[in-house]
Amino acid sequence: MSGVPDALKIAISSDHAGNVLRGVIRDWLVEEGYAVTDLGPGPGESVDYPDRARPLAEGVASGRFDRGVLICGTGQGMAMTANRVPGVRAAVVADTFSARMAMAHNDARVLCLGERVVGAGVALDCVEAWLNAEFEGGRHARRVEKIG
């Protein structure tokens, strides 16, 4: 990856069903030079996805984090919870095109993945596509404004 923005702060969290994939993505983000905050949970800790998604989404909404990655079994519960936080748009993805468009067309600052849906290779490709995309604004900004 070329030119990681120095100040780009990324938070990552999961429930117990996303622990393994969270570790893979976190390690890759660190290797690529991103400033990563891992919000847990700890190994073997069984947690409820809303308790993991809300703090990350609130951190993105407040500007503490630039972007966030949430992982559970399917990604759906994380997205549903994160999208309840005003100012947050979270997208569940399982392919690189959707990941790229979530950012480029929808300004989705939170990416949700399902460890039981995608393997590590696809997940990393999705994260990379999403991070390399920029919100295009223009007609998309008008549409995103209508969501809020």
Domain spans, the chain: 9-147
Active-site annotation, residues: 72, 105
Query: What angle, 0 to 180 degrees and rounded to 10, lies between the N-to-C axes of helices 19-32 and 120-132?
Result: 50
pLDDT over threshold 90, residue 68? yes
pLDDT of residue 103: 98
pLDDT of residue 2: 47
pLDDT of residue 7: 67
pLDDT of residue 140: 85
In the CATH scheme, what is the homologous superfamily, with its name and number, of domain 9-147? Sugar-phosphate isomerase, RpiB/LacA/LacB (3.40.1400.10)
